[in-house]
Amino acid sequence: MRYAASMLGSRLGASLLVAACALGAACSPVKRPDGGEGLLQVGASAPDVVAKDADLREVRLSALRGKPVVVYFYPKDGTPGCTKEACAFRDAWARFEKGGVAIIGVSSDSEQKHQEFQREHHLPFALAADESGSVAQSYGVSKKLWGYSRVTFLVDRRGSVAHVWPDVDPGVHADAVLAEAAKLP
């Protein structure tokens, strides 16, 4: 009896994994347009990101050369973890500004949802609406059933990836990123 239950559990687990893969959950590394797989590595050139700040002005990563930039990917506007992460960056904003560090958040939400999220939580940094998924793919960030994986890239003054956080604790992450940015030449 115990063996039969174990086999049933194994089959159920395998079936759920197959179903998750079929629904688009990340089952293998993302193939990037540059031919690589998985997350961009330290030293790689950071692909451009176009976002809108809280005043609806366009912000381009490429136009921010000369200063460090945090590019963080998150699943969805308004969810508990994403709100916690965005508000942690907001609460540390003065320290990021003092350090000359810009921030761009990226999710697959629409520009309108981003605007609502920015207004509701008083977010002073830019958010990129990556509805097509092309920005996430260029960084090698996977998309799961609920949205993008939570991954952060620190881009140095030359436009290269200086640090990657592949798994993030939204509540304390802003401080870790700020500490790493302070180490940049």
Q: Which residues are catalytic?
A: 82
HEC assignment per residue over the chain: CHHHHHHHHHHHHHHHHHHHHHCCCCCCCCECCCCCECCCCCCCECCCCEEECCCCCEEEHHHHCCCCEEEEECCCCCCHHHHHHHHHHHHCHHHHHHCCCEEEEEECCCHHHHHHHHHHHCCCCEEEECCCCHHHHHHCCCEECCEECCEEEEECCCCEEEEEECCCCCCCHHHHHHHHHHCCC
Tally Cβ neighbours within 10 Å of residue 179.
9
